[in-house]
């Protein structure tokens, strides 16, 4: 497919090798305006803002993914396969399924369980386990340690449903799943298929198991998850 694509109007070379990908377009704008020097808007189709600038001398891009696996599936596919992006780091929010993972702690997704049918497109003779790039995972864990962040590494659940009528989300906790979000499995699948690298870093925005902890507001999710943003920028290549 030639570029621009149906969903991204950027020109060839507009994106850096590494793209940070929050779900919220306003969070993408906040990251660009707060952390990047000489940031330039390279995409705004459907309000999905993408910027490229510099962080500590490194050329880095940030672009929103929207909500859910179909949405991040489209944007990450086009970035990996048509724009030459090598690394996508999701910087999102998640609900804790682990009692030791509290509001504003960080979950680094080693793997992404899912209730989605996204993997079925590959027609594999079994079940595929979407996992992060070890290169990015190791850098993130080592850097989080140096930064003194409270984090955990493990599986997350990439759910297709935010309002789960079956109330089945907590069943994943008994298998050690740390948190629930809505995008990582599709991102990891696209990276694997394209031979590229992906990692999901999430800040805990609410807790399903620690009910006494008040959830963060939309504005807090947009503006205050800066530790996660700096962690992702530090490991960008």
Q: Compute the distance between CA of residue 42 and CA of residue 171 in angstroms, rounded to an integer.
A: 41
Determine whether 7 is exposed, middle or buried from the number of CB atoms within 10 Å of its CB (0-12, 13-18, 19+): middle
Q: Is 44 a catalytic residue?
A: no
Q: How far apart are CA 148 and CA 167, in angstroms?
A: 35
- Cβ-proximal residues to 181 (8 Å cutoff; 6+ apart), any chain: 92, 93, 94, 95, 109, 156, 157, 158, 159, 200, 202
Please tell me which residue in 14, 24, 105, 206 is annotated as part of the active site: 206
Q: Environment class of residue 166 by beta-carbon count within 10 Å: exposed (0-12), middle (13-18) or buried (19+)?
A: exposed
Q: Between the CA atoms of 168, 27, 111 and 173, what dihedral angle is there, to the nearest 10 degrees?
A: -30
The answer to whether the CB of 207 falls within 8 A of the CB of 105 is no
Residues 6+ apart with CB under 8 A from 117: none
State how far the Cα of 108 lies from the Cα of 200, in Å rounded to an integer: 6
Residue positions annotated with a catalytic role: 206
């Amino acid at each position: 497919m030639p570029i621009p694509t149906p969903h991204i109007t950027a020109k060839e070379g507009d994106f850096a090798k590494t793209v940070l990908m929050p779900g919220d377009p306003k969070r993408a704008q906040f990251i660009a305006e707060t952390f990047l020097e000489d940031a330039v808007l390279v995409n705004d189709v459907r309000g999905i803002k993408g910027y490229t600038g510099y962080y500590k001398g490194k050329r880095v891009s940030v672009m929103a993914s929207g909500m859910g696996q179909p949405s991040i599936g489209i944007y990450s596919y086009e970035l990996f396969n048509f724009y030459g992006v090598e690394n996508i780091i999701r910087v999102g929010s998640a609900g804790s399924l682990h009692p030791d993972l509290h509001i504003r702690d960080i979950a680094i997704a080693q793997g992404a369980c899912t209730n989605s049918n996204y993997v079925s497109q590959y027609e594999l003779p079994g079940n595929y386990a979407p996992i992060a790039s070890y290169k990015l995972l190791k850098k993130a864990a080592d850097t989080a340690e140096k930064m003194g962040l409270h984090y955990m590494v493990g599986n997350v659940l990439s759910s297709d449903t935010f309002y789960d009528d079956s109330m089945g989300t907590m069943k994943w906790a008994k298998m050690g799943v740390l948190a629930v979000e809505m995008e990582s499995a599709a991102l990891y699948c696209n990276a694997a298929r394209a031979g590229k690298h992906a990692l999901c870093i999430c800040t805990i925005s609410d807790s399903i198991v620690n009910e006494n902890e008040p959830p963060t507001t939309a504005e807090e999710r947009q503006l205050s998850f800066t530790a996660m943003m700096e962690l992702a920028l530090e490991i960008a290549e």
